[in-house]
Chains A and B, each alone.
Chain A
Amino acid sequence: MEAWFDFLTIALIGSTSWLIAVRYIVSAIRWLSFQSVMLALYTFALAVQSGRPELYWIAIATLLVKAWLSPYILYRALRHVGIGRQAEKAFGRDLLIVGVLAMWLIGYYVTPQLDAAQGPNLYLSVAIGMLLSGVLIMITHQKAMMQGIGLIVIENGLFLAALSTSLGMPFMVDIGIFLDVLVIVVLIGALTLRMDEQFSSMNLEKLKRLRG
Chain B
Amino acid sequence: MLPILVVAVPLLTALGCAMSKRPHHREMVHLLGSVVSMTVTLWLVWTVTAYGPYSALGQFFFIDPLSALILLITGIVSFSGALHSIGYVQREMQHGVLQDAQMRSYYAWFHGFVATMYFVPMVNNLGIVWVAIEATTITSAFLVALYRSAEALEAAWKYLILCSVGIAFALLGLIVLYSSSINVYGSANNRLDFTFLEQASRPLPMHLLLLAFVLVLVGYGTKVGLAPMHFWLPDAHSQAPSPISAMLSGALLSTALYGILRIVIIVDHAGGSSFVSHVSLAFGLLSLVVAFPFLLLQHDIKRMLAFSSVEQMGILVFGIGIGGPDGFLAALLQMFNHAMTKSTLFMTAGNFVQHYGTKNMQRMGGGLRKLPFTGAVFLIATIALVGAPPFALFTSEFALSAAGFASNHPFATVIFLFLLAAMFGVIIYQAGRILFAKAPGHERHVTTDPWTTWPLLIPLSFVVVLGVFIPHSLQMLFHQAALVLGGRMP
Contact = CB atoms under 8 A, between A and B. Distances in A.
B192 to A, nearest CB: 6
Contact of A176 (B127, B207, B235, B238): B127
Interface string A128-170: 1001000100100000100110010011001001100111011
Given A191-B156, A212-B297, A151 B164 contact: yes
A188 B160 contact: yes
A95 interface: no
Contacts of B208: 112, 114
Interface string B183-227: 100010101100000000000000110010000000000000000
A172 B125 contact: yes
Given A112-B208, A166-B178, A194 B298 contact: no
B451 interface: no
Interface string B138-176: 100110010011110111111011001100100110111
Contact of B145 (A176, A179, A194): A194
Given A151-B161, A151-B164, A158-B175, A187 B189 contact: no
B128 A172 contact: yes
A191 B135 contact: no
Contacts of A155: 168
A119 B7 CA distance: 44
B165 A114 contact: no
A206 B153 CA distance: 11
B175 A169 contact: yes
Interface string A99-115: 00000000000001011
Contact of B179 (A114, A138, A209): A114
Given A184-B138, A187-B142, A154 B160 contact: no
A151 B179 contact: no
A173 interface: yes
A180 B131 contact: yes
A177 interface: yes
B360 interface: no
B391 interface: no
Interface string A32-70: 000000000000000000000000000000000000000
Nearest to A207: B154
A209 B161 contact: no
B180 interface: yes
Interface residues of A, number: 42
A210 interface: yes
B120 to A, nearest CB: 12
A22 interface: no
A191 B145 contact: yes
Contacts of A187: 138, 141-142, 160
Nearest to A194: B153
B43 interface: no
A176 B133 CA distance: 11
A183 B116 CA distance: 14
A114 B183 contact: yes
Given A138-B165, A172-B128, A180 B179 contact: no
B397 interface: no
Contact of B158 (A151, A172, A206, A207): A207
B423 to A, nearest CB: 18
B157 A170 contact: no
Contacts of B238: 210
A198 B150 contact: yes
A180 B297 CA distance: 38
Contacts of B292: none
Interface string B422-459: 00000000000000000000000000000000000000
Given A191-B153, A194-B145, 5 more contacts: A135-B165, A172-B125, A198-B148, A210-B151, A212-B303
13 contacts: A138-B161, A138-B165, A151-B164, A151-B165, A155-B168, A170-B192, A177-B134, A187-B142, A187-B160, A194-B148, A198-B148, A209-B150, A210-B234
Which A-B residue pairs are the 3 nearest by beta carbons? Answer: A173-B127, A176-B131, A165-B179
